[in-house]
């Protein structure tokens, strides 16, 4: 069949391959450009010399390193909390014989359609005492209804005989969850763990909504002050405008550092999301 392809078909293939290659490059190039020029000493279009000055500068600034620590802490703790809550709830909901199950499922589904909106949610966050605490970056979005449903489907696809036979042998629900269900769901757990981690690391609006103490700002807030407002001072006394060489390299270096965890996680993300998410969501 392939040998008998017509000329038009071949031209189409060449065009298609070339076009997609361009699309791929356009996706990647802006970021590559940022990375390359962040190491450049001059502001020329094509970098000529290599320097890590911008990186030395941002890591010497207190504000930036602190925000980085905030982001790392929130991401680690938050991912654990979110994954734990999601797994426990998804596990319970995966039991089809559980009385009231459809009611609880409906409760979760409704939150995907309706939400209270920014202002009422803000007051709940305030009343539960989360304002100006790092928990405000974790708790108000602790469970994604969408991931929960997929995880539930994933748990449900594990053969019931495995769980039931363990229970007949006297295993506790906890044992079944930790010894049988979770180990079998590792691809899904890895996928959702990574998605949760990326989500917390990237969140920006929750931070400016719920946190007003600059000492608790995550890295995305600092990034915005530095680039988009161009008015934020990264050090305690010096602002970027007073830096002798161009401030753009510093902005680029901040972008690179703020994206680094994603770039490091990406290969894992790539591997797991295909296995974990697509298995769970697009069931055959």
Partner 1 sequence: MSQVITKGVLQTETVATEPIVATKKPLAVRIWKERWLYLFMLPGLLYFIIYKYVPMWGMLMAFKNYQPHLGLWASEWVGFRHFQRFFTEPEFGMLLKNTVIIAVLDLLIFFPVTIILALMLNEIRKSVYKRTIQTFVYVPHFLSWVVVVGIFYIIFGTEGGIINAILEKLGIGTIDFLTDPEWFRPMIVLQMVWKDAGWGTVIFLAALAGVDSNLYEAASMDGASRWRQLWHVTLPSIRSVIVILLILRLGNFLDLGFEQIFLMVNALNREVGEVFDTYVYRVGMQQGQFSYSAAVGLFKSAVAFVLVLGANWLAKKFGEEGVY
Residues 52-71 touching partner 1, rule: CB under 8 A, are: none
Among 7, 14, 49, 97, binds partner 1 (CB under 8 A): 97
Note whether 204 and 224 are within 8 A (CB): yes
d(CA 159, CA 61): 54
Site string for partner 1, 71-90 (x = CB under 8 A): --------------xx-xx-
Interface with partner 1 (CB under 8 A), residue from 34, 166, 171, 243: 34
Length of the chain: 284
Contacts of 224 (CB under 8 A, 6+ apart): 204
List the interface residues with partner 1, window 152-171 (CB under 8 A).
Answer: 160-161, 164-165, 167-168
Subset of residues 256 to 275 that bind partner 1, contact rule: CB under 8 A: 258-259, 262, 266, 269-270
Please identify, using beta-carbon distances, which residue of 43 and 52 lies nearer to partner 1.
Answer: 43
Binding mask 231-250 toward partner 1 (x if CB under 8 A, else -) reads ---------------x-x--
Give least dist CB 68 to partner 1, A: 14
CA–CA dist 187, 193 (Å, integer) = 10
Measure the CA–CA gap between 253 and 36, rounded to whole angstroms.
10
26-34, 56-64, 72-80, 184-192 -> range binding partner 1 (CB under 8 A): 26-34
Of 110-129, binders to partner 1 (CB under 8 A) are 111, 113-125, 128
CA-to-CA distance for 283 and 272, rounded, in angstroms? 16
Question: DSSP labels for 167-180?
Answer: HHTT--HHHIIIII
Task: Report the site for partner 1 in 202-231 (rule: CB under 8 A).
Answer: 202-205, 209, 220, 223-224, 227-228
Tell the smallest beta-carbon distance from residue 215 to partner 1 (Å): 19
- Least distance to partner 1, CB of residue 83, Å: 12
The CA distance from 281 to 241, in Å, is 49
Residue 27 contacts partner 1 per CB under 8 A: yes
Q: How many residues bind partner 1 (CB under 8 A)?
A: 95
Are the CB atoms for 199 and 140 separated by under 8 Å? no
Contacts with 38 (C-beta within 8 Å, 6 or more apart), sequence order: 54, 55, 249, 252, 253, 255, 256
């Amino acid at each position: 069949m392939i040998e008998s392809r017509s000329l038009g078909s071949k031209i189409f293939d060449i065009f298609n391959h070339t076009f997609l290659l361009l699309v791929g490059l356009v996706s990647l190039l802006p970021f590559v450009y940022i990375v390359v020029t962040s190491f450049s000493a001059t502001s020329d279009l094509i970098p000529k010399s290599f320097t890590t000055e911008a990186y030395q500068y941002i890591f010497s600034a207190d504000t930036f390193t602190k925000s980085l620590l905030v982001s790392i802490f929130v991401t680690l703790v938050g991912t654990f909390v979110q994954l734990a809550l999601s797994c426990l709830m998804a596990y319970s909901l995966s039991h089809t014989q559980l009385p009231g199950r459809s009611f609880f499922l409906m409760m979760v589904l409704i939150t995907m359609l309706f939400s209270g909106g920014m202002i009422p949610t803000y007051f709940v966050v305030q009343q539960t005492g989360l304002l100006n605490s790092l928990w405000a970056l974790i708790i108000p979005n602790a469970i994604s209804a969408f991931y929960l449903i997929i995880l539930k489907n994933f748990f449900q696809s594990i053969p019931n005989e495995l769980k039931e036979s363990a229970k007949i042998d006297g295993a506790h629900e906890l044992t079944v969850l930790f010894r049988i269900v979770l180990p079998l769901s590792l691809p899904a757990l890895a996928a959702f763990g990574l998605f949760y981690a990326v989500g917390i690391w990237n969140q920006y609006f929750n931070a400016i909504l719920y946190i007003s103490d600059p000492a608790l700002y995550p890295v995305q807030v600092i990034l915005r002050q530095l680039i988009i407002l161009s008015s934020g001072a990264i050090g305690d006394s010096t602002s970027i405008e007073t830096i002798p060489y161009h401030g753009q390299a510093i902005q680029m270096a901040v972008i690179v550092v703020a994206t680094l965890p994603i770039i490091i996680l990406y290969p894992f993300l790539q591997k797991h999301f295909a296995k974990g998410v697509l298995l769970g969501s697009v069931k055959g």
